Chains A and B, each alone.
Chain A
């Protein structure tokens, strides 16, 4: 089983819909992250959480919200999806600072 699992793997939806992307991990890491990847732009940080009671905005948090339900679960919501949020979304975890991050296989989200 994958250490970092993202669901769904693919999602097509319409403008204005509320969408939730979920991430769960079995690595026991405290730190979790959400990124989006657009072609030619690399990965950009949306939100991150260093423990269950900690939530921080990243570079591009507008239009997104997150919930850290438990050490192992971190979900990303798009309250009212718009087409320019079409992208590949990745969840990642790390044990503590200055350590590698471990990525899920991503959610491909298309907003029509």
Chain B
């Protein structure tokens, strides 16, 4: 069963715009992680936010976590064509449970 569910399923924007992806989950978690997958490649870890944290930044990435609403968001600022990829949230309860992902297309 999928613990995390990303929204939207697909997102198309222009370079320079911001991209926001959301993740909802069902149970308590130890932490929530975001991963990126370029077409046909392995997943790459982007950021981990622990259950007692509310916001975390890494470069152009900003992740928020609201445990009361069981939701998280990933914001990519000033997007680039190279950000085109699928993005997955994963909830950690000892092992990771992944959502179905958001496909982001950034056009030049």
Contacts and interface: CB of A to CB of B under 8 A. Distances in A.
Contact of B92 (A44, A58, A98): A98
A63 to B, nearest CB: 18
A102 B48 CA distance: 13
Contact of A98 (B30, B44, B100, B101): B30
A98 B99 CA distance: 18
A4 B99 CA distance: 23
A98 B41 contact: no
A105 B41 contact: yes
Interface residues of A, number: 26
B50 interface: yes
Interface residues of B, number: 23
A90 B31 CA distance: 22
Contacts, number: 54
Interface string B71-103: 000000000000000001000101111111100
7 contacts: A40-B100, A41-B100, A90-B42, A92-B43, A101-B45, A105-B42, A106-B42
Given A42-B88, A43-B88, A102 B98 contact: no
A103 interface: yes
B11 to A, nearest CB: 16
A103 B30 CA distance: 20
Given A33-B95, A98-B50, A100-B48, A43 B30 contact: no
Interface in B44-85: 44-45, 48, 50
A48 B2 CA distance: 17
Contact of B94 (A4, A41, A44, A97): A97
B1 interface: yes
A43 B1 contact: no
Q: Which 6 A-B pairs have the closest CB atoms?
A: A103-B42, A100-B45, A43-B98, A42-B100, A42-B98, A103-B43
